[in-house]
Structure formats: C-alpha cells, structure tokens
Amino acid sequence: MAIMRLGRAELKVMDLEKSVDYYTNVIGLEETGRSEGRVYMKAWDEYDHHSIVLQEADSPGLDHLAFKVEKLEDLAQFEKKVELFGCTVRRVSSGARLAEGQAIRIETPTGHQVELYHEIERLGKKVGSVNPHPWPLETRGIAPHALDHCLLTGEDVETATRFFMEALGFKQSEKIMTVDGEVMLGSFLFTGNKAHDIAFVKGPDKKLHHAAFHVDNFYEVLKAADILSRNEVQIEVTPTRHGITRGQTIYFFDPSGNRNEAFCGGYMTYADFPTITWTEDRIGQGIFYHRRELIESFMKALT
C-alpha cells in the first residue's frame, strides 16, 4: 500500500478561456480535454492524461489535490486509515472527471480536499518512450517538466502533519518551529524522493499558497522570469534560492490570482531522511535565503 506521487491539482479560475491561454502559452502546458466547466492539461514530460484541471468558478483557489496510489486495491485500505484518524472520506465514482477512474475524497484537518486514485488514462510523453530525445523541439512558454508540489495553509499544521504521516504514509523533510520548540509553523512532506510533494504553513484553513512546476535548472528559472516579464505577468519574487529544500525559485500569479512557482533543484530524500528544523527567528532566511526576510504579500496573498 503506497502513495507514489502528487498526481494533479484542480485550480479554480474566474475566466476559463483567459486562464487556458495563460497556462498554455505562458506556463507551457498542453490542453488534453474538456468537460463542462473544466479544462484538462499536462506538462510535456508527464505521461498521464492531466496534472492540472482548470475549473471555472466565481473565486480563485484550490478545488482539490490528488495523489496517485500504487494499486487500485490501496484505496480501500487508505479509506480505513483515514476513517481511523477521524477525517471524513467518501467515494468518487469512475468517470466523475474526464479520463479518471474511481477515487476517494478526503477532507483534511485543515479543510482541504485531497483525493487518492490509481486509474487514469495514459497519453504518453511528448518525446515518446522509445529512443526518446531529452526534450521536445516544440515547446511554449516556461515549458516545465511536470507539476512539482503544492503549499497549503492551515491553522493546525501539527495535526495536518500527523494526518499525512500516520494515515497516508508521508515523511517529513523539514519543519519550522517557534523558537521555544512548542508550536509547528511549517511542515514539508514527501512520499517519494523529492524534498516535498506537499507543504503546510500556518495560516487560514482551506487556502492555497501556491502550485509549483518543475523546471530543469536555475537558468530555466531565469528564463521563466524573462517569459513572465515579456507577457506582463505579475512577478511577486524574482529568481532566488530557498534555504528550506535548497531549491531555486520564482513566484508569480495566474490571471485569477492563484500563485504559481517555477522550481528547480533541491535535495533528494529517502525513507530514513532526518527531518531538518528551522526556527521562527530564521524563517526569512529559510524561505528567501539571499534576501533573508519575508515580503508582506508572500503570507497574505492566498486563494
């Protein structure tokens, strides 16, 4: 029984066609299908049908995140573990969304909706799977490899962390604690070998901080900045490095106000990875290693 990876994020957007244009031509995703009120998209290096779903809505934010499990039978076992932890869970029938099989939908301790699934149509990678070239000739925009991670906010980071670790089998790579060590303010969780697949920072329940896309290297982060400026996209944080995860990054906003990130680097994790601790007095350096201080919008602009 195992959760393999982050599989998708369904983002709420207010102008569907404007958002499709942005995620196609600025981010560089490929549209793979449509159903009523939704557009399905994937990055060029992803093989499943979609990793991003854009849902037309009255306000921005996150409808749900979904993680792919190793076997279909795992859903029933995770369903029991979630119920034992005390979170609500319900079944999602096959075909509820385009190209997807059955799933379970969980309400986490922070009020976010998280799905677990196994079945999804495979479209393959743009470079193919037989004698593939390292990248496709035709790309648009930032052209990330894949959806990388999401950061959410919640009032009780510690309980959210316990839920993901105890009920879903995640490990914790890093945490942010008050100086006295009494309160957890941030938590970075992984289920494979990345520095994080999902993270939480203390803040209002049910909110999305950002959805991140993986790019190759710091040059690609710099190139992303050029593409964003050329397209007059609002950039919040110009290219820099994180202390937490060691990743390199740029933050910016989609047309509805959902924060995006182009992310590269970071270390590899393993099942026995020792948790790294940051203290609240060094949180500025942890998040923006060069600047060493937070900017006001970074914790206030949530959807």
Is 261 considered catalytic here?
Answer: yes
Is 107 considered catalytic here?
Answer: no
Token code pair at residue 36: 């009523």
190 and 281 in a common domain: yes
178 and 101 in a common domain: no
Looking at the structure of the chain, the number of domains it has is 2
pLDDT at 292 over 80: yes
Provide the domain limits for residue 46: 3-117
Is 242 considered catalytic here?
Answer: yes
- What whole-number distance in Å separates Cα of residue 227 and Cα of residue 141? 7
163 and 94 in a common domain: no
255 and 210 in a common domain: yes
**Residue 152 contacts residue 110 (beta carbons within 8 Å):** yes
Question: Which of 97, 117, 137 is where one domain is finished?
Answer: 117
Cβ atoms within 10 Å of 162's Cβ, excluding its own: 16
3-state secondary structure of 298: helix
260 and 214 in a common domain: yes
Active-site residue, selected from the candidate residues 50, 64, 209, 242: 242
Active-site residue, selected from the candidate residues 196, 209, 214, 220: 196
Whether 64 is covered by a domain: the verdict is yes
Cβ atoms within 10 Å of 33's Cβ, excluding its own: 17
281 and 150 in a common domain: yes
Place of tokens 């309980």: 159
Is 210 considered catalytic here?
Answer: yes
Active-site residue, selected from the candidate residues 50, 118, 210, 214: 210
283 and 179 in a common domain: yes
Whether 111 is covered by a domain: the verdict is yes
Q: Per residue in 223-242, pLDDT tens?
A: 999 999 999 999 999 999 99
Whether 125 is covered by a domain: the verdict is no
Whether 97 is covered by a domain: the verdict is yes
The pTM of the whole model exceeds 0.95:
yes
Active-site residue, selected from the candidate residues 118, 149, 209, 214: 149
Kindly report the CATH number assigned to the domain that includes residue 7. Answer: 3.10.180.10
**Residue 38 contacts residue 53 (beta carbons within 8 Å):** yes
pLDDT at 264 over 80: yes
Q: Per residue in 181-216, pLDDT tens?
A: 999 999 999 999 999 999 999 999 999 999 999 999
Sheet holding 146-154: strands in order across? Answer: 235-241, 247-253, 259-265, 207-214, 146-154, 198-202, 184-190, 171-177, 276-279
Token code pair at residue 244: 């937490």
213 and 97 in a common domain: no
Question: Which of 73, 101, 117 is where one domain is finished?
Answer: 117
Whether 131 is covered by a domain: the verdict is no
